[in-house]
Structure 1
Amino acid sequence: MEITLKDIQEAKSSLRNAVYKTSLVHNTTFSEMAKSSVYLKMENLQKTGSFKLRGAFNKISRLPEKDRKNGVIASSAGNHAQGVAMAATSYGIKSTIVMPKHAPLSKIAATKSYGAEVILYGDVYDEAYEKAKEIQKQTGAVFVHPFNDPEVIAGQGTIGLEILEDLPDTDIIVVPVGGGGLISGVAIAAKSIKPSIKIIGVQAKNMPSMAESISQGHIATIEGMPTIADGIAVKTPGELTFNIIRHYVDDIITVDEDEIANAILLLMERAKVIAEGSGAVSVAAILNRLEYIENKKVVALISGGNIDVNMLSRIIDKGLAKSGRRILIDTLIPDKPGTLGILLNRVAETGANVLSVTHNRSTRDIPIGYAKVELELETADEEHAEEIKKLLLLNDYNFLLL
């Protein structure tokens, strides 16, 4: 089914009072790192914290009155769920959302708060989808597909209109890809207005279903592995989106889990932006995979900001450790008064901040007359961590860096 620029423009009119026109913000740090002009399209600041409201609202706003009586049903890892719930509630329509059992707790709670009945089923989106279709047959509710629906795609495409309104000379738009609804809409809108623009899709390396499908020339189901970009963890792309992407999208690349986590951390530190894993893959791609974007105007679509706080904490801890800004040192010292103080003073001389100290003399692996000390240190960078290691070696400490 063909989706046109006119469909997207009509969707924009329908959404005028329902969604925000989110900001397009230039980021100096990422621009310097990528040697290009990088702009962030801030859909993480959209109502419900994600672009998904656009497509869901456009779909539900167009339902005939006779189709509303049995309500709507959807399957989602979280963001589409919230969009459908908010849109349905605004029209007084009952909504039921089937979410994977391991969906982030914050997304489950938010979906319920928007008025939906939430059913947890399956380990990934595709299993939740099958359950939702089963319930739909029983209830007669209208199924609101998260990506393989022309009205949903048209709603997402309004982002492409906004980008080119704010930055008409955009050269490249980098877009997260799961099932493909977002990039399909953005690509149709952008290419219809400016055919020379490049549209680059990004998937998690752990779940590259669309990338593999395009590579193989047919829709492929990929079992994949868990990813922190749960919002784009889709095993099987949609037929409609697959065909649109083949026609409109210039390339689809993948990024790994460390690159995604680092992008989340950099967005927090350098842009003061909270992005979920699926929202950060566009920045991960720009910083690690797109060498040919130098001296271009590049838009990174930050598709959502609904990250679980516990996951965010783990990402921060891992990122600090990987960059050498938080280290754990395990060493033995003589079990005598003053030796712990000497060790701490030597560490303090380097400017490191001691976050915690564990002192133990009782376990079997500790020789009599010694105590085991574990230090958690806050450091400036890898060079600072190396300085601490050299100082300990110089003073004859035997230690392990954990």
Structure 2
Amino acid sequence: MTARVSVATVLAKPARINSQPELFDWPVPSIPPPKPLVPRQEPDIDYLQLILNARVYDVASETPLHLATKLSTKVKNKIYLKREDMQPIFSFKIRGAYNRIYNLTHEEKQTGVICASAGNHAQGVALAAKKLGIKATIVMPKHAPEIKVESVRRLGAEVVLHGSDFDEAKKECARLKDEKNLIYIPPFDDPYVIAGQGTIGVEILRQLQQDRLDASLIRPDVKIIGVNAADSDGMYQSLIKGQPVEIPMAGLFADGTSVRLCGSENFRLCRSFVDDFVLVSTDEVCAAIKDTFDDTRSIIEPAGALAVAGVKKFLAQNSNFKDAVFVAVVSGANMNFDRLRFVAERSRLGDGKEIMLSIKIPERPGSFLDLYHAIDPKPVTEFCYRYSDPDVARVFVALETSNAASDAEDVLEKIRDKGMDGLDVTNNEMAKTHLRYLAGGRSATVKDEVLYRFQFPERPGALKRFLYHLEGKWNVSLFHYRNHGADIARVLAGLQVPAAERNDFKAFLEKLGYSFEDETENPVYNQFMK
């Protein structure tokens, strides 16, 4: 086994890691430039010594630094992932929690500990307390992912669910702390916790000795880029205002960072050491989860994907960076399974791989096929329509694309050339959240409608062939198709077939060669669509 290089040895060799920031034209930062570290009112802390002496490896692992090959190729820069999702609790939080609890006095350990957490710090405290034989009480928000709540209970801690977010849970934690005379273990804003997490930076420096480093942690010649979810941007707002700012509401998607007020000590350090800041949307976080999966085959949680989303957005906004070296800390992987469907839906939008269009076409047989010819060869991922007007058909279409902005305009131009009209709704939040699921509805004027479900192999061109067979014979009055990534395509279609033509229609279905099911008498159809 290779002997471990000491952290002191690594930090004594600055020549081995050269960030060479002069190679790049660094952008004007979105936050005020770093200021000299303001001394603490209490005795100041030597964080370097605190980090070097942090007691974390009794329970934590030195996690790998993984070169994200696919992502690096995609963004034309070298991206490393610090795999904190591989810790025993699938999160970096075990480092700070254990270091804080280990450094309690004997009397404090006998008293018992309490903390407030959205989940990952809770697991860290629970594991640390179990390792050290200490009783632990954990206050978690009611929305905390079930996977995290169950993990805390499994580790032997008492769980108290309270409040709608971290800040409300923290207030209940303070009440219980005073009531039961327990020792509070903060998730941040504590020197021992910060030092425990700081061991990540030391590991990065040791693991990346042979490469240049342009954005990561600890060294003065290394750029540090902070990332917040756009709807939980408390630290960003605080750095802009020059003091901790409590935001009115923190978004819950990246639940691990759902904090309205940043810690004063965290703010003091960030104001001195963070060079720039990036805000990322929910869709961009979903895309980052997919990018990480593509490179690691691991599914990380939204808060754990913030750094990956941040480096992608930073590079998208600063195209002059080529072959630079970035490290993104993948901080956690405690994802509720039920969230995966939302992540899968939004990841393509967040990566510019899907566009959504609202289109008007003539209400006549053959229009669908004309529309498809205008769209072709872009793969269709969703197609929704319901008859509502004798002259104009309104269609919702989603398409797979390589560049959302330019491709949307190209497709709309082709649609207009065919005498149709369309609108790009890709960035319309109502369209993303509601319209794509509600498009359709009742039609009081449609006559002689029959409703059928069809199934056929999901392969390129399959939907086009289906429309080709379907169009021109009977008017299509309802149509829904969604590519779910399965091997079988499923289409729901309504057609206006007069009673006198039903036998011809049945003969047509048999010749079509697709599996089908008559849903005309389905009670769901009669209650919600007819």
Counterpart mapping for 1:54-65 below 5 A: 54-65=95-106
8 Å contact from structure 1 (residues 170, 299) kept in 2:
no
Counterpart mapping for 1:112-131 below 5 A: 112-131=153-172
Match of 1:156 in 2: 197
8 Å contact from structure 1 (residues 173, 301) kept in 2:
no
CA distance in 2, matches of 1:84, 1:31: 35
Q: 1:108 and 2:161 equivalent?
A: no
Counterpart mapping for 1:258-337 below 5 A: 258-290=283-315, 291-292=317-318, 293-319=321-347, 323=353, 327-330=381-384
For the residue of structure 2 that corresponds to 1:305, the secondary structure is coil
Paired letter, 2:337: V
Paired letter, 1:204: A
For the residue of structure 1 that corresponds to 2:178, the secondary structure is helix
> 363-372 or 273-282: which moved more?
363-372
For the residue of structure 1 that corresponds to 2:271, the secondary structure is helix
Q: Aligned pair in 2 of structure 1 residues 41, 161: CA closer, same or farther (>3 Å)?
A: same
User: Residues 339-368 of structure 1, C-alpha deviation per residue, up to 9 Å, x if partnerless?
Assistant: xxxxxxxxxxxxxxxxxxxxxxxx875845
Match of 1:371 in 2: 450
Match of 1:78 in 2: 119
User: Residues 176-206 of structure 1, C-alpha deviation per residue, up to 9 Å, x if partnerless?
Assistant: xxxxxxxxxxx4xx22xxx211111111001
Match of 1:9 in 2: 52
Structure 1 residue 70: Cα displacement: 1.6
* Equivalent of 1:172 in 201, 214, 217: 214
The structure richer in helix per residue is: 1
Structure 1 residue 294: Cα displacement: 2.8
8 Å contact from structure 2 (residues 250, 259) kept in 1:
no
For the residue of structure 1 that corresponds to 2:328, the secondary structure is strand
Match of 1:231 in 2: 256
User: Residues 72-104 of structure 1, C-alpha deviation per residue, up to 9 Å, x if partnerless?
Assistant: 000000000000000011111000010000000
Paired letter, 1:261: C
CA distance in 2, matches of 1:236, 1:230: 14
User: Residues 142-198 of structure 1, C-alpha deviation per residue, up to 9 Å, x if partnerless?
Assistant: 100000000000000000000000003442345xxxxxxxxxxxx4xx22xxx2111
Q: Aligned pair in 2 of structure 1 residues 35, 149: CA closer, same or farther (>3 Å)?
A: same
Paired letter, 1:277: P
RMSD, matched Cα: 2.7
CA distance in 2, matches of 1:197, 1:124: 34
Higher alpha-carbon Rg? 2
Match of 1:29 in 2: 70
For the residue of structure 2 that corresponds to 1:286, the secondary structure is helix
For the residue of structure 2 that corresponds to 1:316, the secondary structure is helix
Q: 1:139 and 2:218 equivalent?
A: no
- Name stretches of at least 5 consecutive residues in structure 2 with no aligned partner: 1-43, 355-378, 388-441, 483-530
CA distance in 2, matches of 1:132, 1:121: 9
8 Å contact from structure 2 (residues 149, 159) kept in 1:
yes
8 Å contact from structure 1 (residues 203, 254) kept in 2:
yes
CA distance in 1, matches of 2:290, 2:453: 26
If the length of structure 1 is used for normalisation, what is the TM-score? 0.80
8 Å contact from structure 2 (residues 287, 346) kept in 1:
no
8 Å contact from structure 2 (residues 56, 96) kept in 1:
no
CA distance in 1, matches of 2:465, 2:313: 31
8 Å contact from structure 2 (residues 284, 347) kept in 1:
no
CA distance in 1, matches of 2:207, 2:382: 47
Q: Percent identity?
A: 34
CA distance in 2, matches of 1:366, 1:56: 65
CA distance in 2, matches of 1:150, 1:246: 16
8 Å contact from structure 2 (residues 75, 312) kept in 1:
yes
- Name stretches of at least 5 consecutive residues in structure 1 with no aligned partner: 175-186, 334-362
Match of 2:273 in 1: 248
Q: In the comparison of the two structures, how many residue pairs are matched? A: 350
For the residue of structure 1 that corresponds to 2:243, the secondary structure is coil
Paired letter, 1:215: I
